[in-house]
Amino acid sequence: MKNKGLAFKLSLYILSSVVVIFVIILFYNYKISKELILKNVEESTKNLTFSTVNKIESILNASEKIPDNVSYVLDLTSNNHLKIIGLLKSVIKENNEIFGTCIAFEPYSLFEDSLYYAPYCWRKNDSIKYKNIGSNDYQYFNMDWYQIPKELNHPVWTEPYYDEFGGEIIMSTYSVPFYDIVNGEKKFKGIATIDISLSWLEKIVSSIKIFKSGFAFLISKNGTFITHPVPEFIMNESIFSIADKYDHPNLHKIGQDMISGKTGFVQINPVSTKRKSWVFYAPLPSNNWSLAIVIPENELFADLHLLHNRLILIGVFGFIVLFILIFFISRKITNPLRELVSVTKQIGSGNFNVILPVFKAKDEISELSNSFVFMQNELKNYIKDLKDTTAAKEKIESELKIAHDIQQGIIPKIFPPFPERIDIDIFAILDPAKEVGGDLYDFFFINDHKIAFAIGDVSGKGVPASLFMAITTTLLRAKTFKDQKVNDIVKSINIKLCKDNENAMFVTFFLGIIDLRTGEINYCNAGHNYPYILRANKKLEILNKTHGTPLGLFEQIDYKSDKIVLDKQDTLILYTDGIPEAMDNKGNLYEDHRLQDTLLKLCCNKSAKEITTELVKSTKKFASGTEQSDDITILVLSYF
């Protein structure tokens, strides 16, 4: 690529961009189209499934009413054997969907000498057959179709089964308990049943066709296949046995949802087709069976894939044509640039008087040539201006150095500040992030036994912050009088700072006054970081009782004060947010917990200067390799 011409590179870059855009559009179109197709198919399959479910339900619901009506009629015919047989035959004759019906009585409940009495009528060819199915070989009152509805006291559909007795077909039985009223109470008397052939159900389900090879199947409440396009599965396999046989956990999960009565639309790999497919399933409310419709994914998206492949072919052909056109157009456009190349080399070597070619066309190339002419003149002026700018920059740097020295001169710099005093030790440091900063500290005697000390952090950095810092320091000395309360001093400074503060600058501020006779400190915190007290017993305390609004924001505001007593060899540590907000090269902050660990581990039994040095050392080590982001200021006061 380095040795290729601009025309080739331009053609390649443009074509690459077009290819990327085309691929994105193609992918997006495919994705959205696929989602729309899937959504429409889901809705259509849902409608088809529920339509089929409703059709099956209508037949089952109509069938369920028959044994209910039979149990009602039994009150009139229960003692007449011939009438009972006539009733059963009429039920089969008048309801073509019924294969057989039975009325199974509790032992001795109808005839005192009859342990078994369960007359059963069923269809055989064009006739209706009858038999009393109760016998020692078939004790019907121990069968599930009898015992389950008896115990549950409500009708029950049995699992589908193959009838070898008369019909030799797959059927299901609906059992309804009926009762006598004895002394106002219900007494179980027997079970009325109907047998439904499931051949009609097979016809309904097998008639569902989706695309070329989509199909539907029906499972019972235990997961057994009632209908399926693979005949070997019907009544021989369940959805769970197939899932286990082919190690298909997804199919097992779908089976659990289906027998739980859930509705869903999920992706599966049917074991019978070995193709990725989508399945929609829904329950039959009457008997907790579940119907599923399977749609092969390759047929579902066949038209979309065909359209997608055609678009790719058209795109490839279009890219080839586009590359040829762009290349020849680029060659024509870049020819004048070659003429400028040799000229620019001379300008680059320092010959600003070389004559540039003139182009008649009023286009970008002509503008470029005119720009080179303009550049020639500007370079001459720039060299002259560069000398002046360098001199001005050196002057500004010198003035900033002077401002730095002036700012450092405002704060106390001589340590120890009171060598004649043995009852207190003070040490402080101010390390600005730039030439000048906005942090401040100060301390001074109010009278022979009281010292005022303060620390603050002005919003922002640079010269404006340093000026605001100088004003705050000056106001501190001017407003601090003997026996004046610390919160009144802070309030007075705040009122002055708020006046004519057009830039809305503010300063967090902490002021304390210590009585060296007792160790009592009266303090006021105006939005500053909470100080720490390192006790002589190596315990660390935080001064968090007051925390007011920073100075310079609101003129009419009151500040609160509080008291704390320092014992012998206790130390008070004040600092600005340059310590907890120091940042390493991974973006992690130093934070308060590291500050506390440093005070407890490194600073116990140390002098004020040693504590300050350890804090600065720990912070600098943490932020090693990164530029200092904020001013670092520390004031340490040890009381003896």
Give residue-wise pLDDT tens across range 390-431.
766 766 666 556 666 666 667 898 889 999 999 999 999 998
**One domain, residues 155 and 268:** no
**One domain, residues 280 and 420:** no
Residues belonging to the chain: 640
If we measure between CA atoms, which residue out of 265, 279, 301 comes closest to residue 31?
301
Cis peptide before 416 (omega within 30 of 0): yes
| Structural domain contains residue 125 | yes
Phi, psi of 178 (to 5 degrees): -130, 160
**One domain, residues 148 and 275:** no
pLDDT digits (tens, 9 = 90+) for 132-160: 888 888 888 888 889 999 999 889 988 88
| Structural domain contains residue 328 | no
User: What is each CA distance from 312 to 21, 317, 324, in whole angstroms?
Assistant: 13, 9, 19
Burial class (CB in 10 A: 0-12, 13-18, 19+), 423: middle
d(CA 442, CA 449): 17
Domain around 268: 208-302
User: What is each CA distance from 508 to 174, 494, 528, in whole angstroms?
Assistant: 84, 11, 5
- Which residues are CB-contacts of 111 (< 8 A; sequence separation ≥ 6)? 117
Mean pLDDT of the chain: 84
Last residue of a domain, one of 197, 224, 245: 197
CA triplet 504, 507, 513: central angle to 5 degrees?
A: 145
Amino acid at 351: N
On whether the CB atoms of residues 11 and 231 are closer than 8 A, the answer is no
**One domain, residues 240 and 126:** no
- Could you please report the per-residue DSSP string of 464-506? HHHHHHHHHHHHHHHH--TT--HHHHHHHHHHHHHTT-TT---
Average pLDDT rounded to a whole number, residues 543-549: 89
CATH of the domain at 228: 3.30.450.20
Average pLDDT rounded to a whole number, residues 452-474: 88
**One domain, residues 471 and 609:** yes
**One domain, residues 434 and 286:** no
**One domain, residues 503 and 571:** yes
**One domain, residues 170 and 89:** yes
Last residue of a domain, one of 152, 173, 197: 197
From the CA atom positions of the chain, what is the Rg in Å?
A: 48
CA triplet 186, 190, 192: central angle to 5 degrees?
A: 115
Average pLDDT rounded to a whole number, residues 464-492: 89
In the numeric block, which tokens belong to residue 604? 């116990």
User: What is each CA distance from 134 to 104, 114, 118, 142, 386, in whole angstroms?
Assistant: 8, 10, 6, 11, 118
CA atoms within 13 A on the CB side of 19: 14
| Structural domain contains residue 34 | no
In the numeric block, which tokens belong to residue 258? 């289906």
The DSSP 8-state label assigned to residue 159 in this structure reads P
If we measure between CA atoms, which residue out of 347, 397, 403, 339 comes closest to residue 375?
347
Q: What is the pLDDT of residue 271?
A: 62
pLDDT bracket for residue 272 (50, 70, 90): low
User: What is each CA distance from 299 to 33, 121, 214, 604, 636, in whole angstroms?
Assistant: 15, 48, 9, 78, 80
| Locus of tokens 């370079």 | 379
| Structural domain contains residue 365 | no
d(CA 11, CA 599): 65
Q: What is the pLDDT of residue 212?
A: 81
pLDDT digits (tens, 9 = 90+) for 331-379: 777 777 766 777 777 777 766 667 766 766 666 667 776 777 777 677 7
CATH of the domain at 624: 3.60.40.10
pLDDT digits (tens, 9 = 90+) for 589-635: 999 999 999 999 878 888 999 999 999 999 999 998 888 888 899 99
End-to-end CA distance of the chain: 77
pLDDT digits (tens, 9 = 90+) for 50-61: 888 888 888 788
pLDDT bracket for residue 522 (50, 70, 90): very high
Q: Taking the CA atoms of 331, 333, 339 and 344 in sequence, report the sign of the dihedral they define.
A: negative
CA triplet 59, 65, 66: central angle to 5 degrees?
A: 95
Q: What is the pLDDT of residue 529?
A: 95
pLDDT bracket for residue 72 (50, 70, 90): low
Q: What is the pLDDT of residue 78?
A: 57
On whether the CB atoms of residues 422 and 640 are closer than 8 A, the answer is yes
| Structural domain contains residue 393 | no
Task: State the total domains in the chain.
Answer: 3
**How many beta carbons lie within 10 A of that of residue 169, not counting itself?**
14
**One domain, residues 119 and 84:** yes
**One domain, residues 193 and 296:** no
CA atoms within 13 A on the CB side of 7: 15
Amino acid at 592: D
- Could you please report the per-residue DSSP string of 92-127? HHH-TTEEEEEEEEPTTSSSTT-S---EEEEEETTE
> Rounded to the nearest 10 degrees, what angle do helices 6-77 and 302-348 cross at?
160
**How many beta carbons lie within 10 A of that of residue 520, not counting itself?**
14
| Structural domain contains residue 339 | no
On whether the CB atoms of residues 434 and 630 are closer than 8 A, the answer is no
**One domain, residues 254 and 181:** no
CA triplet 243, 248, 250: central angle to 5 degrees?
A: 105
In the numeric block, which tokens belong to residue 33? 């189209």
> Rounded to the nearest 10 degrees, what angle do helices 6-77 and 199-206 cross at?
160
Average pLDDT rounded to a whole number, residues 466-482: 88
d(CA 33, CA 405): 71
| Structural domain contains residue 329 | no
- Could you please report the per-residue DSSP string of 428-441? EEEE-SSSS-SEEE
Q: Taking the CA atoms of 92, 96, 100 and 101 in sequence, report the sign of the dihedral they define.
A: negative
| Structural domain contains residue 505 | yes
Last residue of a domain, one of 246, 275, 302: 302
Residue 507 has pLDDT above 80, yes or no: yes
**One domain, residues 492 and 545:** yes
